[in-house]
Amino acid sequence: MNTTPRRNRSRLLIETLIVVAIAIAMMTVVPGLLNAVGQSFRVGLLGRFMALAIAALGIDLIWGYTGILSLGHGLFFALGGYAFSMFLQLQPPPGATGLQLPDFLVLYGVTDLPWLWKPFESLPFTTIAIVLLPTIVAAILGYLVFRNRIRGVYFSILTQAALIVFFNFFNGQQKLINGTNGLKTDTTYLFGQVMSSPTMQANFYYLTIVLLALAYGFCRWLTSGRFGQLLIAIRDDEPRVRFTGYDPTVFKVLVFAVSAGLAGIAGALYTVQSGIITPKAMDIAFSIEMVIWVAVGGRGTLVGAVLGTLIVNFARSLLSEQYPAFWLFFQGALFLAVVTVLPDGFVGWFKTNIPELVRQLTSKTKISTYPSLENNPDLDYERQVVSDRKSDR
């Protein structure tokens, strides 16, 4: 970039301050405002949607920057959600101690905790598993696929296939993870408090904001600098990257794994705020919706991923309240409109049109670089000198 390091640093500082300010506002002012206008339940919705925004950031990394369209991120989302709710299921209610067998297992007549559940008795393990489980699954899947240079539509179809495999597994295992019914979290306890209590929900609301801000910062770090440039380079021309000496496979596996980890975090946070995780999280439609959020907000811009998620989901909840049958049509129309009218999403549109608008309003002529460079006599002269010097040698 043409900016000096010092200017870059002050820019970074400003951006950090803005993110922190927004985060604090979301924690303090926004819930207060919503409560004041009698829309308290929207605070809960906001928390959930911000959890989804973390997954959208991951989609943006893999699709917006690297150009790999994953239609199976619901899988990673569900893995995170299941990991956390399995832990919660095992937590004893206040007063009780010792091993707590989940209700549904008792119902099925299971007396011993299945092996799959054993590790989830530990909070540290669960916390790590929420991130690492999806990451590892994605890394394995990604390695196998990317190593064989499977790209484009074929990759998208493979992610859907993986999604269906896991969906059927989760759906079919009644005695292991309660099959179709999923795992409820809102009646479980954490640190002696029931999960659906306002304090608990408020805590997770704050936690979601903090993690969303951290995830944003992390993605920002990943996409700036050489690594970010390389992701864009892979999107633009992967064979060229290869012939320049980089191995695209490792980069793609890493990005895919990171985005899966983010989806896992999102899944865990979303689950505890909505009260249940079921195999429906691995619906194909849900995974495609994640892509729509990013497309609406503007792919390749991290802010766009977050905004798109919030816009689409609030539009959905507002519209479904008024016209319950209407939402799917609207979502389809929104997607079509974005693809045809705003190919770069809302943020992309703002980026290209707002500077123009500002220029018109302030009527300051800003030099648009390309054509004027072509007509710039100084530059022509410089080029002439350079080429003359070349032929002199």
Partner 1 sequence: MSGKLLAIENLTVSFDGFKALNNLTFSMDPGELRVIIGPNGAGKTTFLDTITGKTKPTQGTVHFKGQNLAKFKEHTIAKMGIGRKFQTPRVYLNLSVRENMGLAYNQQKSLLKTLFPKSNGGEKDDIAQLLEIVGLLGKANSPASLLAHGEKQRLEIGMLVAQSPDLLLVDEPVAGLTDEETEKVGNLLIQLAKKHSILVIEHDMEFVRQIAQKVTVLHEGSVLCEGTMDEVQSDRRVIDVYLGNQED
Least distance in angstroms from the C-beta of 338 to partner 1: 19
Least distance in angstroms from the C-beta of 212 to partner 1: 22
Residues 6 or more apart in contact with residue 209 via CB below 8 angstroms: 23, 26, 27, 50
Q: Is 245 in the site for partner 1 (CB under 8 A)?
A: yes
Least distance in angstroms from the C-beta of 211 to partner 1: 21
Residues touching partner 1: how many (CB under 8 A)?
A: 38
Site for partner 1 in 357-376 (CB under 8 A): 369-370, 373, 376
Q: Which is nearer to partner 1, 124 or 239 (CB)?
A: 239
Q: Which is nearer to partner 1, 218 or 286 (CB)?
A: 218
Are 236 and 68 in contact, with CB atoms under 8 Å apart? no
Q: Is 393 in the site for partner 1 (CB under 8 A)?
A: yes
Q: Which is nearer to partner 1, 130 or 257 (CB)?
A: 257
Q: Is 379 in the site for partner 1 (CB under 8 A)?
A: yes
Rounded alpha-carbon distances, angstroms, from residue 283 to 164, 166, 168, 202: 8, 10, 10, 28
Least distance in angstroms from the C-beta of 337 to partner 1: 24
| Tokens of residue 330, six digits | 């609207």
| Tokens of residue 79, six digits | 């893995």
Select the residue interacting with partner 1 from 254, 266, 290, 292 (CB under 8 A). Answer: 254
Q: Which is nearer to partner 1, 135 or 178 (CB)?
A: 135
| Tokens of residue 222, six digits | 């990943």
Q: Is 27 in the site for partner 1 (CB under 8 A)?
A: no
Q: Which is nearer to partner 1, 63 or 104 (CB)?
A: 63
Q: Which is nearer to partner 1, 113 or 136 (CB)?
A: 136
Residues facing residue 277 across a β-bridge: 183
DSSP 42-96: HHHHHHHHHHHHHHHHHHIIIIIIT----S-HHHHHHHHHHHHHHHHHTSPPTT-
Select the residue interacting with partner 1 from 98, 115, 124, 243 (CB under 8 A). Answer: 243
Q: Is 62 in the site for partner 1 (CB under 8 A)?
A: no
Are 137 and 76 in contact, with CB atoms under 8 Å apart? yes
Are 359 and 365 in contact, with CB atoms under 8 Å apart? yes
Q: Is 382 in the site for partner 1 (CB under 8 A)?
A: yes
Least distance in angstroms from the C-beta of 216 to partner 1: 18
Are 80 and 130 in contact, with CB atoms under 8 Å apart? yes
Beta strand residue intervals within the chain, DSSP E? 183-184, 189-190, 193-194, 276-277
b (16+ CB within 10 A) / e for 66-93: bbbebbbbbbbbbbbbbbbbbbbbbbee
Least distance in angstroms from the C-beta of 117 to partner 1: 35
Select the residue interacting with partner 1 from 206, 246, 330, 335 (CB under 8 A). Answer: 246
Are 212 and 45 in contact, with CB atoms under 8 Å apart? no
Q: Is 383 in the site for partner 1 (CB under 8 A)?
A: yes
Rounded alpha-carbon distances, angstroms, from residue 301 to 305, 347, 348: 7, 7, 8
- Residue tagged 């590790």 (tokens): 119
Residues 6 or more apart in contact with residue 51 via CB below 8 angstroms: 208, 212, 266, 269, 270, 273
Compose the 203-242 pattern: x for residues touching partner 1 by CB under 8 A, - for all others.
Answer: -------------------x--xxx-xx-xx-xxx-xxxx
- Give the range of 25-33, 173-181, 248-256, 282-290 binding partner 1 by CB under 8 A: 248-256
Least distance in angstroms from the C-beta of 267 to partner 1: 25
Binding residues (CB under 8 A) for partner 1: these are: 1-2, 222, 225-227, 229-230, 232-233, 235-237, 239-248, 250-251, 254, 369-370, 373, 376, 379, 382-383, 386-387, 390-391, 393
